[in-house]
Amino acid sequence: MLNYEKIKNDFPLLSKQINDKKIIYFDSSCMSLKPRQVIEAMNEYYFEFPACAGRSSHRLGELVTKKIKGARQAVARFINADEQEIVFTRNTTEGINLLANSLDLRNGDLVLTTDKEHNSNLIPWQVLIKKKGIRHEIVKSNDDSVFNFEKYKELVRGVKLVSMVHTSNLDGATIPAKEIIKIAHENGALVFLDAAQSAPHKKIDVRDLDVDFMAFSGHKMLGPTGTGVFYGKYNLLEKLEPFMVGGDTVEYSTYTDHKMLQSPEKFEAGLQDYAGIIGLGEAIKYLEAIGFDNIREQELKLNRYITEEISKFPKIKIIGPSDSALRSGIISFYIDGTDMHQTTLILDEMSNVMIRSGQHCVHSWFNDRKIKNSARVSLYFYNTMDEAKIFIETFNKIIKIL
Ligand SMILES: Cc1ncc(COP(=O)(O)O)c(C=O)c1O
């Protein structure tokens, strides 16, 4: 059971008001709110020990090094990985670019994605088509937006890398990663999972999944902006050639040569966002204390209610599976021929309800179907049924004028 009073106390934004009304934040897929524990941990770094990790052996330097190690251990525990398998990045996008530019992909190598990839897991491969002559194939979803296994089994033969979004930010649907990975491995392919939308909402065990590479963003899971994680199996990370190198990536250098460090150091070039990484460690502790069962229960309850209510309007179309239980905390909807931006603006203006409209960086999906855009509600455990009711009441008024 969630203790909402404590949660409200922990998240400063939940007590803020605009025009004497509380803010209803339904845009957590884009950016989650931050609890004060995360903010305070970052402030502590800046106030108490704003030094370098790993380089300076004075007391402040030692303290930062210890805190960064603690954060890395927390991330490793969170996904059941080893410490050396955790590379700190700025976000999911950087993790995917790290992989795309470090993996030995060559002319003719095939990368397989779904049809619901965020631009961050599409554009890096499109660039490599031009640069290196790799090939790219797409597994189109079934009509109900569910993963098409038959098509996947056909296409996976001869693939070098399966690179797929675990939970879609477009519709909240999650692919059956374990089976997908098993089949990929039987066919000699490596697998990368874009966990930007799954890591904040469900327990991920990289050992159990047997996934080769994975990336996620700290700022979507209570962590600071500009923090992310790239995971790789250690034996695979050893083989990757880092694409960004320099300070902190080498054991030594001469005027003509250098000796590269092992993972994760060889991937973390230059001074890092120490405050952010420490904040991310706190975010993970906070999420663990809340518990993924509680997170899922709250999201399911709110998603079911909102789905039932907005489905009462025949002109509304919800993207993704009709069963709200299969859409995590996301309700993405549109009206044929209507620009959904207006809906979003009025919701904000009338009731401080903050949702997002647009193509959510999945332009390819919208363009293929000639759908203008969608309005997307994205929930997290700190949202309440009262908030969902205010959203529906306001939406009921707006829909009459759309
Ligand atoms: C599924 C998915 N992948 C990748 C990203 C990119 O995340 P970031 O901007 O943090 O790199 C997002 C962000 O919304 C996302 O939802």
CATH number of the domain that 376 lies in?
Answer: 3.90.1150.10
Q: Whose CA is nearest to atom 16 of ligand 1?
A: 169
In a shared domain, residues 319 and 280: no
| Residue 361 is among the residues annotated as catalytic for this protein | yes
Give the distance (Å) from ligand 1 centre to CA of residue 71: 21
- Considering only CA atoms, which of 234, 231, 275 is closest in space to residue 75? 231
Cα(158)–Cα(388) distance, rounded to whole angstroms? 47
In a shared domain, residues 241 and 327: no
What's the Cα-to-Cα distance from 36 to each of 8, 9, 70, 267, 283, rounded to whole Å? 10, 9, 19, 30, 10
166-177 per-position pLDDT tens digit = 999 999 999 999
In a shared domain, residues 70 and 183: yes
* Residue-level pLDDT at 4: 94
Give the distance (Å) from ligand 1 centre to CA of residue 196: 5
- For each successive 10 residues of the chain (402 residues), what is the average pLDDT? 94 96 97 98 97 89 96 98 98 98 97 97 98 97 89 97 98 97 98 98 98 98 98 98 93 96 96 97 98 97 98 94 95 93 95 96 94 96 98 93 76
In a shared domain, residues 199 and 93: yes
Residue that terminates a domain, selected from 289, 315, 343: 289
Residue pair 112/156 in contact by the 8 Å Cβ criterion: yes
Angle at 168 between CA 165 and CA 170, to 5 degrees: 135
In a shared domain, residues 141 and 177: yes
Give the distance (Å) from ligand 1 centre to CA of residue 222: 14
In a shared domain, residues 312 and 274: no
- Residues with beta carbon inside 6 Å of ligand 1? 29-30, 91-93, 118, 120, 165, 169, 194, 196-197, 217
263-321 per-position pLDDT tens digit = 999 999 999 999 999 999 999 999 999 999 999 999 999 999 999 999 999 999 999 99
In a shared domain, residues 299 and 276: no
DSSP letters along 48-76, please?
H----SSS--SHHHHHHHHHHHHHHHHHH
210-243 per-position pLDDT tens digit = 999 999 999 999 999 999 999 999 999 999 999 8
Catalytic one among 51, 300, 361, 371? Answer: 361
**Claim: this prediction has a pTM higher than 0.95:** yes
* Residue-level pLDDT at 54: 83
For 336, the domain range is 4-30+291-399
Q: Whose CA is nearest to atom 7 of ligand 1?
A: 92
Q: What is the CATH number of the domain that holds 198?
A: 3.40.640.10
Report the domain count for the chain: 2
Residue that terminates a domain, selected from 251, 266, 289: 289
Residue that terminates a domain, selected from 271, 289, 307: 289
